[in-house]
Each structure stands twice: as C-alpha cells, then as structure tokens.
Structure 1
Amino acid sequence: MPEKGVPLIQNYTPVHYQNMGKVWDIKSSESGIVYMAADKGLIEYDGKIWNTFKGSKGFTRSLLLVNDSTIYTGSDLDFGIWRKNRYQAFEYTSLYPFKEDVNDFIEEFWDVHQLNDKIIFVSFQNLYIYKDQQLTRISAPYKFTASFVDHDTLFFVDERDGLLIFDGFSLNQFFNHPVENSLDILGIGQNKQGLVLVTKNSGLYSYSGGKLKVLNNDFSNKLKVAKVFSFEPIGNSYLAFGTVLKGLYITDLKGNIIHHINKHKGLPNSTILSLHYSPAGKLWMGMDYGVSAIDLKNKLTYFYDYTGDFGTAYTALVKDEIFYLGTNQGLYRSRWIDLNNDAEFNRFQLVPGTEGQVWSLMNVDNTLFIGHDQGLFTLKENAVQKISDHHGFWTVLPYQNYLLTGNYKGILIFEKKENIWTFLKKMDLILGSCNQLIIEKENILWVNIPNFGFIRAVLDENLSPEERLIFPAEDFDGNNLYLRKSNDEIQVITDKFQYTYNSTDKKFSDKTKITNDSKLNGLLSVVYQNTNLHADYEFYSIYNGFALKYLRQSEKQNPIKFTLIPKKIEAFNNDEKLLLFPDATVPYDMNHINVEFIVPNQDDVLYQYKFKDGDKWSEWVTDNTFTFLSLKHGSHSLIVRASLHGKITDEKVISFRIATPWYRSWYAYLTYVLLIVLAFYFTRVLQIISLKRQKKLFLIKEKNTLQMQAEKFRNEIVLLEKERIKMEYDQIKEQLKIKTIELANKAKDNEDKNRLLVILKDKCNMVQKDPSTSKIRWNEMQRLLDSYLNVEDKTFEIQMDELHQEFFKKLKENFPGLSSNDLRLCAYLKIGLNSKEIAEILNIQPSSSYISRSRLRKKLSLKTDEDLYDFLNAL
C-alpha cells in the first residue's frame, strides 16, 4: 500500500441513494455488488446504479450477506430476510415475532452474524438464533455492547461480564473487564504478539498469555481523542479505524499510521459510522453524511489542495530527500518523508522569492533551476537567485557546457563562466513558445511548440540549426501532444496514440494505440510528461493538486477477482416498459429489449456481446447496457463478456423469448384454418345456392324457352296446319274444280249422250220413216259414235295432267329428257297403279307396260336396287 498521498476517494451524497439516511452497515458480495443498511431500508450499488428497498418501519442497523439473492438485516424492533424475486428486486419478510409486544424497551438489532448453519440476530438485550425456520432466544448476561467475528470465532461484549465467546449453543467468558473500568470493545485485530483489542473510547489493548494490557503508544492515544466508532481489518496486513472526530486511520499491524484521511483530505465529513473492505480492494465508509469509497488497490495517490495551501502543481523534484513542488502559486518544499499520509494536514512550505507560476525544475550541478513565469531562477543552499529577466521559462536542458531553455518566445542559451550562469544568445530559426526540449543524440535537438508541431534540428558548433525537419501537429491523431525519449527512441504521445520516429525514413511511422491501466483524475493538458521523482514514485500534475504513482509491486499481490453479472432485462415500446426475468416470454408488441450487465464496482470495464446463433462479437464498449430494437419472434440467447485490464471474464448467457405475434400463433393458424374451412363451406354453400338459383333460373329460362319454343312450334304447327289446311283446301278446291269440270264434263257427256241418243232416235225414226236412207243414216250414226268415243278418251288424259301439274314440273326440272307419255307413266306409277292396270288405261299390252317402265328407270338413272315407286314419292 502506498504511504504517500491520499488514495482515490469517491464520495456519494445521500442524494445519490435517494436520501435513505445514514448508512450503519456495509457488506459486499463475491460478485462485487455493495449492500448497505440505512435508516430507511436496504441499498444496493453496483458501481453505476443505486437501488433502494424499504423493509421494516424502524431504522435498518445491520446486515448479513449470504449471497446476491439472500440478505438478513436487523433494525429497530424487527429483523428479517430479503430475497430477490424473479425481477431481481428484493422483497422483505419479517422474522421477528415480538413486534406487537409492549415492553419497557425497544430492541435494536445492531449486528447479524452467521455461525455455521445458524443466523444470529443481536440486540442489546438478547441474541436470537434462527435455524430451520425456528427462533431460539438467549438473553444477555447483562447488556450486549458489541459483537463481532474474528477468525471464524463469534465474540460478544457484555457490559458486566466482559468478552464472551459464543459456540452456537451458549456464551462462554473469554476474559472479564479490568477492575478499574468496563471496556467498550469494538473489535479485535491480531499481530505476532497476540490480540489487539480496539475500544471506542479507551484506545488499544493487547491480550497475550491470558493477560490484558494497555497499549500506551502514540496511535492508541490518538484513538482515545478521536473516539472510535467502527473497525475493519484490511486483509492480513492492515487495520482501518473509523472515528467520530478525526476521520479514518489506516495502520499496519504494528500500529504505524499509513493513512490518516479526514475532511481536509477529501472526505465529506470526519465521522465514520461503518467500514467495510471489499474484495475489489475498496474501503467503503458510511458517514454521518454520505458514503465514500477509497480505492486502496490503486497505485495512484493524490494531494488535493482543499485548503488553498499550495495550488495546482506543474512540476516536482526530489533533491537530497527534499521534495520541491512548482505550482501556480510558487515553489514549495517539504521533507520527502513528510509526504507520508500519516498526518492530519499537508506539510508544504513556500520558498520565499518564488511567488508566482513555476513551470519547471531542473537539478544541474547540484543547483536547482526554477523555470518561472517571471524569469529563470536558481536555488542553492536555500538562497534564490534570478539569472534572467526573460519571461516564461517552460523547460531547462543541460547541453554540453550550456543550458538550453525553452520560453514563451523561443530558445535562450546560457553558458557558465567562472561558476556563474549568464545569458549567451537566442537560438536562430526557432520561434514560438517552446515548452519541451529533448536531445536525441549528440547535436540533434527536438523542440515541441504547442499548436504548431515538432522540430528536429541539427545544431552546428555555434548552436544554430543547420538542418530542420518540421512535423505539423495535424499529422498526429489526438490531443495533448508531447515528446518523450524512451530506449533511445523519440516518441510523440497523444491522448490516443503513440508514434515512434524512424531515423532512417525520417518520419513517424510506427503508430500504436495507448491503453491506460490506471485512471488518472483531472490530468492537466498543459503538462506533457510525468516526472520520475524517486525510485518508487512518478509525478503527475492534476487540477488543484498533484498525483503520485507508486511503482513498487507488492511481494504478495492477490489478483482481484471480478465477475460479470446480469442486472436487468427490460422490454419496452413507445408507451410502456416491462421488467423481465430470465427465460421470460416477451409480448410481440414490446419486442424492443434493454439488457444490462455489469462488473460491479470496477472502473474502465469494456463489454461486448453476440447472439448465440451469431458468429461475430460486437465492438468493445464502455456502456454496459445493450439495446436491441424490433427483434424477431422466437427464442434468443444473448452472450456477454467483459474485459478489465486485458483480462476477459467468463461468458454469461441470458435467454428470453419474443412471443409469436398473434397473427402467427397456433390459435391464429387454427383460426385461419377455421376461416378457410368456413370460407370454403360458405363458398360451397353459396355455390350450391348459386347453382340452385342458376339452375332455377336456367329451368325458368328453359321453361320460358321451351314455352317460347312450344309457342313457336305451336305457331309453326298452326301455321303449318294452316298451310296444310290451305294446301288441302287448295287441293280440295282444285279437286272441286276438277270434279266440277268432271261433273260438267259428265253433264256435258250426259247431255251429249242424251243429244246423241236423241239424234240417234231421230235418225232411227228417220230410217223408220224412210228406210231408203237407212244406209246413209247408219253411216252417219257410225261416224257420230266414233267421234264421241275419241272425245271421251282425251278427257281422261286431260284430267290426269291437271291433277299432277306440280309433280310434272319437278320431274321436268330434274329430268328434262322425259316425254309427256313418260310423265303420265310416272304419275300412274306414283298413285300405285301396276303394269297391268296401266296397260288397261293405255289400251296396251302388259308387256309393253313393262318395257315402258324399264325405259323410264334408265331415263331416271336408277340403280337396280332402287325402288321406282319410293323414288317418285320422295320427290
């Protein structure tokens, strides 16, 4: 542990932890999360977020941490257990059965301990043993004033019976109080001589060989004045004492003060109510106002000027075990040993004559050179002497027998004559504010001019640049550029990268990224280089003070274990947020996810992640919260890991599931199937209805069509019937005409016959009267009869021609070669007369009729198998 300076202090006011009141007890888990018992309940702090939980009504005084999910606490008139629910929030359950009892006193439970499988709650009056959900009460012999554990042994301090040891079943006296007074023992430490007893008001006691002795040393006397309120061993080598009046003391086991830290050195106040040393190397303090944490593992320590004693430091030097500090107020000095943090105040003294801004210090030939805003000074044998009135000396560099000094306007050269340094000249060709000068080798000089760049100058024998190389500041990535010579190499350092000069190529070619192992608060950008003060320390300039880095490594340095843990899973959308538990199912309308992981109470941690089904890690980032928008539905497994000081933690996996959207869920698909079935069913029903309607319409239409057709057919039939009737009528009329003609002809024939008969009678009468004329008369009668017969034959033929005029017309159109006799023969054949009947009508032989038929078949081009009768009737 560095002895010089104050370790880094982080202060937290009650506003940080929601004004939960005073913090009476502090514990930390193996993961690094810190838990605190406060007036208004339980506090959880992971290094970034404070969470508070309210339990019992009384002030919470003590806590026992089992793990990050189970905590026991004691409070005023209550004690109980805290358990985390699946949303990672603590819920309190009271175990104290006597809250409703009215007694003469109210039990306050200031301690909770674990002894094997027993949880023990301690008040002034009783101790309660909690095991297997059963409580056993053991009363104090008189009054318990304290209880604590040392090396797995549980001690109780009774106001009357002294120091007691509890074995889990009974209290056994370890030793009684001295006769002269009752010791208010607060805790026990151990060294090679035995036990060291820490009391509240009586300082320190030692116990060895069964004998109790007062430690009358300086530190014990200081504790009597300071009034100890809390005590905590720091590992196996140091002890921490929280006091009411003087703040914090840290000592080794011999009682040597390593650190004395109070309000003058950075604490909010000097009353320390509770102490806890965490595995992460931080000493946590609950104070009268606020909470503080001191990083004891950090090699950086600080000297802040809280009281205005010395200002902001820019340079420092150790010479003859005297520490010299150049600040904006002047040059200060103190003994190197006085930088040890064992005193209440810093011990710096201003060197008279150096008031003002001091930029640099350099020891040349046992003379301290002071680069000052008002000129160049020397300090030798406590005497300050000004050797130049030029303003603003940034740096002093011995070179051969000269001094090269960079100031506001360039480089001034001094030489030593007769043991006195005098101004020689100003270097040519280099102008501007030169705040760094470095010799690369022999006659090669490097110059840093802020906001301009760097110059590499080769000096001639007159100390003038004969060759210059200029490297503009714009060529370097980053801010706060400064020069450094390391292992004979010239390097340019920025806040991001380191560049190395290549003398062969005459350019800065090697660029590497800078990683800082330790975080330095408030580093001044004006000061460009740490200073090696001592074999064990480096100097850094910071705002309102300075810092030292302890270079020596501890002989036995246990590596700090750090654990990556999930803190919170949260789903959200535009309207609301929802805390989740691991393996939770998230509604699809809240498929934006925040996942928070942390390495508790560690600085400079980097985080990265990937999904289980992915093959690429994200970039390393300092943000420990990852946000994922519009995740797809289904199961997701997020893998996260962290990196601290180049070491990578084990991977942590957190799983969750985005619910399937309702329109893709099984019941949605079932609904879709049902809808499809219903749609198909209704479509089918509609189709059937439509088909029925169409069929009905078709039938109606068909019926109408049929009715129309029937009506048309009826009309056609009527028309045909009319036509038939008309034809029949015409035929009948024609037949009537024919018959009328026939009747007329018959009548005429009859008349002619009658007349013929009359004529014949007259002829006969004439013959009778005149026989001589009989022959004449007979010939006349013969001629008259022949004439009548010829007329009658032609009449029949005329009648046949008149009856078959249409038939004859068709035959003449189709067969123009037919004669009138052929036409008459066709008519006879059509009406069904056979050859014999035709022969009789034509007064010919039947054979002639057969011959006429054969001739007719040839004229009609009929084949032998075609019937002549059917052919004629088909026309």
Structure 2
Amino acid sequence: LFFVIQVVDAQYTHYFKNYTLSDYKASNQNWDISKSNDGKLFVANNDGLLEFDGLNWNLWEMPNKAIIRSLLIYQNRIYVGSYEEFGYFLKNPKGVYEYHSLIKLLDKFKIHEDEEFWQIILFKGAIVFRSFLSIHILEDDKISSYNLPSIAMSCNVVEGKLYVSTLDKGIFILENKNLIPFFNHSLLQNTKIISLTKTDTNQLLISTALSGLFLLDHNKIVSWKTAINPIIKKYQLNKFSQLPSGDMVFGTIKNGIYITDKDGEILFHLNKEVGLLNNTILGQSVSKGNELWLGLDNGLASIDLDKPNFFYTDVSGKLGAVYDIINYKGIIYIGSNTGLYFLDNKNKLNFIEGSQGQVWNLKEVNGELFCGHNNGTYLLQNKQLKLISNFAGGWVLKKVPEEKDFYIQGTYVGLVSFNKLNGEWKATHLGKTTIPIKYLVFENKTTAWVAHASKGLYRVKFNKNYDSIVEFKDFRNKGLWSDFFVKIYKINNTIAFHTNKGWQMYEPLLDSILPFNLLNDKEEVKDGYIISEDDIQKLAFKYKNSINFDPFSNGFGKAKVSEKYFKKRLITGNENISKISDSTLALNLYDGFMLINTANLENAITLKKPIIEKLSINNKAIDLKTDPILIPFGNNNITINVSSPLSSNHTFEYQLSNFYFKAPWVETKNGILEFSNLSDGSYTLLINTKGSKQSKSSNLRIDFKVLSPWYKDTFGFIIYALLLLLSALTIYFLHKRKIKKEQNLLKIKYSKTQKKLLDERARENEKEIIKLKNESLENEVNLKSKQLANSAMALIKKNETLQHLKESFIKHKENFNNQYLFKNLIKQLDDSIEHKDEWELFEYNFNQVHEAFFNQLKAQFSELNKKDLKACAYIKMNLTTKEISTLFNISIRGVETLRYRLKGKLNLAKSDSLKGFLQNFN
C-alpha cells in the first residue's frame, strides 16, 4: 500500500474508535491515559479515575472529588496527580479501588498553594511526580522532594537518566540526588519543552510546543529539518510518544495527531475532519499491540496502529455512499451515489464532471473503464465520460464466456448486450423482458441466470449473435425457497442461489432447484452470502459479525475482518469487495471505503480467561479472596462482574450447576451475571470468554455455597431437639394431667350418677303424685263435665217443658178472659226459659271444665256478644241444632242463621267447620 502511506494530505487513516461522554459517563476532558498489563484502560478525567475493561466503564472519584491531571500504572497501583494532592488507587479484596494519599510521606516539604501535579513517570523503579514548581520521587515508601529554579514543563527518562525541562532555565539532570544544569540555550528560553528522546543517530530530540523540534548533539542545538516541524509549530505540540518501531506520535492542541517515521516524515494524520471527536490532544499512550489511546478535550479515541487495514472516510458527505471501487491504470476510481471520483497522487478526491448521480458498477473491459450509471452506461476516456448506452441503471456487467468482445449487462429495463465493432461499443437491448435485473451469472456461453432486483429468478438463453433472447424461463416455482432478494453465484461450476432461508443450487438433470447442502451444513456459511467480485480468488462471505474468507477451507473464520471495522457502515444489500491489487481489497462503506491487506488478515483470535472484578451479595461487595464463598440463604441476590480486557470482540458465556441440575450455557454481552433466590446447596459456576463462531477461552470456575436456612442447619436441629424434648415432656404432663382429670371426672360422674338416680327416683315419685293428681283432676273434670252435661240437659228439658207449656197457652189464648193475665203468664214463661242466673251458673261450670273458654274467645274475637258466646259453648258441647234452638227459644232456622253469622265473626271460610274450630279452640 505504498500509495497509502506516502501521502501528506491523505484522508487514509488507520481504524479508530471514538468514545463519547455518553459512552464513559464522565466529564469531557481526559488529561492522561494508560493501560495496565492485564489490558485495562485507566484515564485521568475531570471527574476522577476512569476504568475500562473493554466492555464496561467505572469511575473512581478522589476523596475531594478533584480533577486528576496525571497517572501512571506500576505494579498493582495506579498513581495519580491532582490538585495539591498525589497518591495512588489500589484495588481492595472486594474489587473496589480505594485511594491512598502520599502527601503524608512528605517530611518537612509543604505543597504550594494551588499546586497541581501534571506528570508522573517511572525512573529506575521509583515514581516521579511533577508539578510546575517541584518534583517528588517516591522510592521504598519514602519521598525525596526538589524545588525548581523555574517552572518545570516536563520530565523525561533518557538512557536511564532523569531530565527536568524548565521554562527559562534550560534542562536539568538528576545526579546523586541533586538537580544540576544540563543544557541551556537562547532557543529554549521561555519555551515549553514537551519531551526529550534519543534518536537512532544518538542525538537528543527536543520537542517544544510552539518552537518546533531541535536536535542536540554535543552541546550543539539545531532545528530539525523535517516535514513535521512546521506543522507542530503551527498547531502547537502538546504530547509526544515514540512507538516500538521508532515511529513517532505528535499530539497537537489544534489539529489532532500526526504519526511520522523516525525521520519525521508524515505517515498518518487524524483530526476532526476525518472523524476524530476533537482536535485537542490532552493525553496519549501506546499500549501493547500498537494500540494508541488519545485523551481529548472532549472524549477519548483508540487507534489500531498494528492492523494493516486503512480507511478512506469522507466526513463532509461530499463523496456520499460508495458502491464500487476499482484500481484502473494505477488510479483509484470511486463510484458513489453522488457520482464518479478519483484520487490523485496526493490522494485528493476529484470529481469527474458529468457523472452526477448514482454510480452502480465500475468494470475494466479490454483496457477500458465502463461505468454503470443511473443514466445509462459511460466509457471513461482521459478522465472524461462518454455515454455508450442510454439504457438506465447499469447494475452488473459480465463477459460472455469464450467470447472476446461480447458483454451482457443487467439494467433497470432488462438485459443489454455490448459488442465492439470497428472500435466502437454498441449497446443492444435483448428484448423478451424489461424487468429490472440486478444479478447476472453465466451457466455457459449461451445460458445465464438472472435475478430481479427484488423478487424473481430466471434462466435465460441467448442466440449465437447475443442480440436477442431465445428463452426466458421463470424459476420461481421450481423449488426456490423464497422469491425475494435472490442472489446468484457460480461456485465450483455450480450455479448457486442464496435467499434469506439459506443456500440452494441448480440441478441440470432434474431441471430444478435443490438444497445446496455443502454450504447449508456449515453454520457460518449458511447464514452468510458472498460479497466479493468474480476476479477475487478468496471468496469473501458477509457473516453476522465479520467478513470471512475461504469458506471451503478448514480454517474458515480464522481469516477474517472483524465487524468492529465496519459496524453500521455497510450498505445493506449492496456490500461489495473489489480487487485493488494482489494483496489489497476494497470494501465499500456508506461514508467511504476500507482497504484490506489480504496478506495480513486477522488470523489469531485473542480470547483470555475471564477475570472476576466484583462479587456482590444483596448489593454488598464481598472479599474476592474468600474461600469458600458462603452466601446466606435469605434474599440471596448475587451479582458477579467479570472482564477480559486482553480479549477482543468478545462476549461471555456461563453455566451454573449443582448436584441436582446443570443449566444450559447462557451468553451475556456486558460481563454482568445475576442470580437470585437460589436454593441452598453447593454450586459451580463456569464462565468463559466467547468470540465469534465457536471460539472460547478456557473456563473460569467459581465455587460457592448457599447456606441452609436456619431451620435446616445445626442451630435448627438443636431447636428441633429441644422442641422434641419439650413436646415429649408436654405430652407426659398432659397425659398425667389427663389421667388425673379422668379420675376426677369418674368421681364427678359417679356423684352425678348417684344424684341422677336419686333425682330420677324423686322425679318418678313426683310424676306418680302428679299422675294421681291428674287422674283426680281428670275424674273431677269428667264429673263436672257430666254434671255440666246433665245441667244442660236438665235446662233443655226444663225449657222444652216450658216451651210446650207456652205453646199450649198460646194455642188456647182465646180461652183466657183476662189478656193482661195471659201476657203476664207468657212473660214469666219466657223469663224462665232465658233465666240469667242459670246461664251464669252454666258459664262458670263451663269455664271450670274448659279453662276460661269464654275469656279467650272474647279476647281474640271482640265482636262476639253474649248470645254468640252461648252459641259457641253449646256447639263446643256438641249439642244439636234442635237442642240449641230449645235453649235459645228460637227456631231451627234461627239457629242456622246464628251459626252462619258466627262463622263470619270468627273469620272462618264457608267450607270451614264451625263445630271443629270451637272444639279445638283452647
């Protein structure tokens, strides 16, 4: 890639990734940056110390929440410099970083007011803290402090010696625990020296902020005549680093970073114009694997310097979405949705006039460049376009096998043939169909397969002159799994099709489409599709998380381009890998393209065993060194944070098991494992780092035990034993009490039985007495009833006699001369018949027998008169109508009338028996 790395104003860049405030959730400014040996990134941020394990960010604040200006990682400590403070963070056994101040180790030296510590470096195993006013060297838990004669701008270790550069007193060197002058010159007066380093010519390179670069050799200082020098003067150098290769990194205040070779010639420039978040570099660090980290004035960035892949990115949007790239006669041509471009010898982007609009396809044909365009097809001649076909939409152009000058093209309006006659290209529409054809593959010289841009698959046969179609056969009903977005390929002389349901192939003997099991049986191939052009030997498969090469080799998946390089930058459905040179491919992107070095494809997958960062029970961190890990039964919410900073493009997979079960493997992308409400018992947790495909690291094993609840442990068994003993004693005493109670009950029962027998005997005697009394009363009642009946019958007889006598008198009334005497006699007879005293005596005797019959009857039926009551008594005594008429001295009809009226007064229905009612009335 000589043309890539030799340019000055190139927009080619290494792969880099930005980290915004929303990613790391802290302040914008990042002053210093470094990686630990286990792969963790630590950043000096305005809000504190940032930690990044490759997946998750953590923030550890200073006790006074001060800004951290500098940091250095040495052994297990992260040394930091802050406002009037310096010290270190150390991870405690619970996985939490705790701050330890070193200020207390200062003897009589006092920190100056408003002093900040801007740099920390390692010097012969000692830690050097630099502010503008002093330096402090920590060694064996003791600090040596030095005041400076001028403002200290930087400290550097060169060939085992410590140099301190000041603003206007030159450079000092530490010897025998004394700072002594080393070099001073007018060129360095009032100059901010950023760095000192040795060149391969044994000269001392002095880098300054605004005065440029100087070379110091035997006390002679000269300006370094190199390409980078005027640039850093213009853009203000702020940070300097040297790569293991000898290449140099210059971080500026105004224009991002520049990477040069050891001679100062620019290899690579990255700034906001090509996608960096910010042009101000506050901190930079080179970690293992040539990964360059940048602390910016607004965010962070990482640059992968070790990978041989480069990007051409157009942040301005001028280029647009790229659809095809070709190296034509040593010049890179780029077809995008805005037109056709080329890169000049300085990699400047140039637009070819007249190409405005969508470019679909670039194809070299017999030394000439065809441009398939939205408007038709153009021929490029001397960087100018010539329209050779006005059939719109030149999607795909393929050479007819075994024919020199015949090409077939798929367009918006069907198939078009190109044939060169007399030095001129002629375009002919082949007829038969005008459907838009996006995919075209030849089966043989006269037969091709074509696919509709959206839906449909067809087999086409051409005539021998390739100026018409003789057969256009629809294959949508020939076993194709899906009609939509069919892609066509020729793999090992087999016509293959890819749909969203997998791979199929054409079987000529059956003239049908069958499953292509050779590809479907490979999971990684089944879900992918080919995006490389025909002239590329290594087939490139677009898979879920990568682009893989050589699908039929045993090592499929090892030679690949990881998704991190193109994530969210591909044009779905129009991915395309084209050949730039024998070792370089180009992948189109929505904002440019990527150059892939096939000689150095990513072969090794780095997957390291996970590390436990933190283990929390009910949100409370526990000591990671605890063995065994014991977890209380109640509310056992367990959170385990794991990381694998040295792994790349990874997730995690875990499996929980115990004596009774083994759970399936579960994937987690954020390194956080959570478990809750586990039953008691011993558990084994296996965790591995998982890459793409089936690659995994070795397992991390965590054994822990969920303690039994109190009712199942020793304490519980003691409680149960005590309860059992208490229960036995309780049963014994209850049984004893029961026996005693039963004895008492027997005594009581015996007493009660005796009393009952006596009571029963008394009651029987009483009953006998009552019976005798009742019999006596009954005899008395019967006697009275008989007397009452006799009395009534006597009264009836008397009244009948008197009535007969009265009737006789009345019958012989005319024989009476004295009528007054006659009437008086009749009246006396009537009075005798209705004698009041006789009735009252009858009523009294009746009540004696029938328990106050009249009183109760009058109480319930107040309308009854004296005559009614008499009638009721007679009826109750079962007297006949005639007998009643005699007693009332009325006719039988009069008695019937009386009975009728009585029914009404007694509220009886017509069908009710008056006699039955009165006899039952009590």
The normalised TM-score by structure 1 is 0.72
Deviation at 1:107, TM superposition (A): 2.3
Residue in structure 1 matching 2:701, options 643, 647, 653 = 653
Is the 2:274–2:313 contact (alpha carbons within 8 Å) kept by the matching residues of 1? yes
Deviation at 1:316, TM superposition (A): 1.4
What's the counterpart of residue 611 of structure 2? 565
Residue in structure 2 matching 1:46, options 45, 53, 57 = 53
CA distance in 1, matches of 2:48, 2:296: 16
Structure 1 residue 8 corresponds to structure 2 residue 9: no
Structure 1 residue 509 corresponds to structure 2 residue 514: no
Residue in structure 1 matching 2:24, options 14, 17, 20 = 17
- Summarize deviations over 1:160-202 as a string: whole Å, max 9, x none: 56445547845466x4133443464323455532354432223
Residue in structure 2 matching 1:94, options 101, 107, 113 = 101
Aligned residues: 696
Deviation at 1:326, TM superposition (A): 0.9
Letter in 2 for 1:46: D
CA distance in 2, matches of 1:667, 1:532: 76
Deviation at 1:320, TM superposition (A): 1.3
Q: Helix, strand or coil for the counterpart of 2:574? A: coil
- Given the superposition, is the C-alpha separation of residues 192 and 472 from structure 1 closer, same or farther in structure 2, using an over 3 Å criterion? farther
Letter in 2 for 1:388: S
What's the counterpart of residue 631 of structure 2? 586
Deviation at 1:313, TM superposition (A): 1.1
Structure 1 residue 446 corresponds to structure 2 residue 449: yes
Residue in structure 1 matching 2:429, options 425, 430, 436 = 425
Q: Helix, strand or coil for the counterpart of 1:590? A: coil
Q: Helix, strand or coil for the counterpart of 2:724? A: helix
Deviation at 1:13, TM superposition (A): 2.7
Structure 1 residue 278 corresponds to structure 2 residue 325: no
What's the counterpart of residue 119 of structure 1? 127
- Summarize deviations over 1:590-628 as a string: whole Å, max 9, x none: 334343323238653132222465778616664533343
Q: Helix, strand or coil for the counterpart of 1:32? A: coil
Deviation at 1:106, TM superposition (A): 3.0
CA distance in 1, matches of 2:131, 2:689: 43
- Given the superposition, is the C-alpha separation of residues 422 and 644 from structure 1 closer, same or farther in structure 2, using an over 3 Å criterion? same
1:130-141 equivalences in 2 (<5 Å): 130-140=138-148
Stretch moving more, 283-292 or 259-268: 283-292
1:526-675 equivalences in 2 (<5 Å): 526-553=573-600, 562=608, 564-571=610-617, 577-582=619-624, 583=626, 584-600=629-645, 604-611=649-656, 613=658, 618=665, 622=669, 624-644=671-691, 648-675=696-723
CA distance in 1, matches of 2:195, 2:157: 8
Stretch moving more, 105-114 or 241-250: 105-114
- Given the superposition, is the C-alpha separation of residues 71 and 393 from structure 1 closer, same or farther in structure 2, using an over 3 Å criterion? same
What's the counterpart of residue 380 of structure 1? 381
What's the counterpart of residue 682 of structure 1? 730
- Given the superposition, is the C-alpha separation of residues 281 and 101 from structure 1 closer, same or farther in structure 2, using an over 3 Å criterion? closer
CA distance in 1, matches of 2:482, 2:14: 32
Letter in 1 for 2:713: S
Is the 2:607–2:650 contact (alpha carbons within 8 Å) kept by the matching residues of 1? no
Q: Helix, strand or coil for the counterpart of 2:600? A: coil
Is the 1:48–1:601 contact (alpha carbons within 8 Å) kept by the matching residues of 2? no
Q: Helix, strand or coil for the counterpart of 1:675? A: helix
Residue in structure 2 matching 1:404, options 408, 426, 429 = 408
Is the 1:247–1:262 contact (alpha carbons within 8 Å) kept by the matching residues of 2? yes
CA distance in 1, matches of 2:220, 2:603: 35
Q: CA RMSD for the aligned pairs?
A: 3.7
CA distance in 2, matches of 1:184, 1:65: 26
Is the 1:373–1:393 contact (alpha carbons within 8 Å) kept by the matching residues of 2? yes
Deviation at 1:402, TM superposition (A): 1.6
- Summarize deviations over 1:344-381 as a string: whole Å, max 9, x none: xxx21111111111111111122211111111111112
Between the two proteins, what is the percent identity of the paired residues? Answer: 24
What's the counterpart of residue 86 of structure 2? 79
- Given the superposition, is the C-alpha separation of residues 557 and 697 from structure 1 closer, same or farther in structure 2, using an over 3 Å criterion? closer
CA distance in 2, matches of 1:55, 1:472: 70
What's the counterpart of residue 414 of structure 1? 418
What's the counterpart of residue 475 of structure 2? 470
What's the counterpart of residue 35 of structure 1? 42
- Given the superposition, is the C-alpha separation of residues 492 and 264 from structure 1 closer, same or farther in structure 2, using an over 3 Å criterion? farther
CA distance in 1, matches of 2:207, 2:482: 56
Residue in structure 2 matching 1:147, options 155, 158, 162 = 155
CA distance in 2, matches of 1:473, 1:314: 32
Structure 1, unpaired ranges of 5+: 340-346, 713-875
Deviation at 1:249, TM superposition (A): 0.8
Letter in 2 for 1:270: N
What's the counterpart of residue 524 of structure 1? 571
What's the counterpart of residue 394 of structure 2? 393
Q: Helix, strand or coil for the counterpart of 2:23? A: coil
What's the counterpart of residue 305 of structure 2? 296
Deviation at 1:563, TM superposition (A): 5.4
Stretch moving more, 539-548 or 245-254: 539-548
Question: Which structure has the greater CA radius of gyration?
Answer: 1
Deviation at 1:437, TM superposition (A): 2.0
CA distance in 2, matches of 1:242, 1:211: 26
- Summarize deviations over 1:521-573 as a string: whole Å, max 9, x none: 2110131431112233222222233322232329x99986755222343445x
Deviation at 1:279, TM superposition (A): 2.5
CA distance in 1, matches of 2:259, 2:484: 39
Q: Helix, strand or coil for the counterpart of 2:731? A: helix
Q: Helix, strand or coil for the counterpart of 1:353? A: coil
- Given the superposition, is the C-alpha separation of residues 439 and 390 from structure 1 closer, same or farther in structure 2, using an over 3 Å criterion? same
- Given the superposition, is the C-alpha separation of residues 90 and 327 from structure 1 closer, same or farther in structure 2, using an over 3 Å criterion? same
What's the counterpart of residue 236 of structure 2? 227
The normalised TM-score by structure 2 is 0.68
- Given the superposition, is the C-alpha separation of residues 449 and 37 from structure 1 closer, same or farther in structure 2, using an over 3 Å criterion? same
- Given the superposition, is the C-alpha separation of residues 152 and 660 from structure 1 closer, same or farther in structure 2, using an over 3 Å criterion? farther
Is the 1:281–1:560 contact (alpha carbons within 8 Å) kept by the matching residues of 2? no
- Given the superposition, is the C-alpha separation of residues 162 and 328 from structure 1 closer, same or farther in structure 2, using an over 3 Å criterion? same
Deviation at 1:403, TM superposition (A): 2.1
Deviation at 1:47, TM superposition (A): 2.9
Letter in 1 for 2:299: G
Stretch moving more, 677-686 or 205-214: 205-214
1:733-812 equivalences in 2 (<5 Å): none
- Given the superposition, is the C-alpha separation of residues 369 and 11 from structure 1 closer, same or farther in structure 2, using an over 3 Å criterion? same
CA distance in 2, matches of 1:50, 1:495: 37
1:780-859 equivalences in 2 (<5 Å): none
Is the 1:31–1:565 contact (alpha carbons within 8 Å) kept by the matching residues of 2? no
CA distance in 2, matches of 1:315, 1:479: 23
- Given the superposition, is the C-alpha separation of residues 453 and 477 from structure 1 closer, same or farther in structure 2, using an over 3 Å criterion? closer
Is the 2:123–2:157 contact (alpha carbons within 8 Å) kept by the matching residues of 1? no
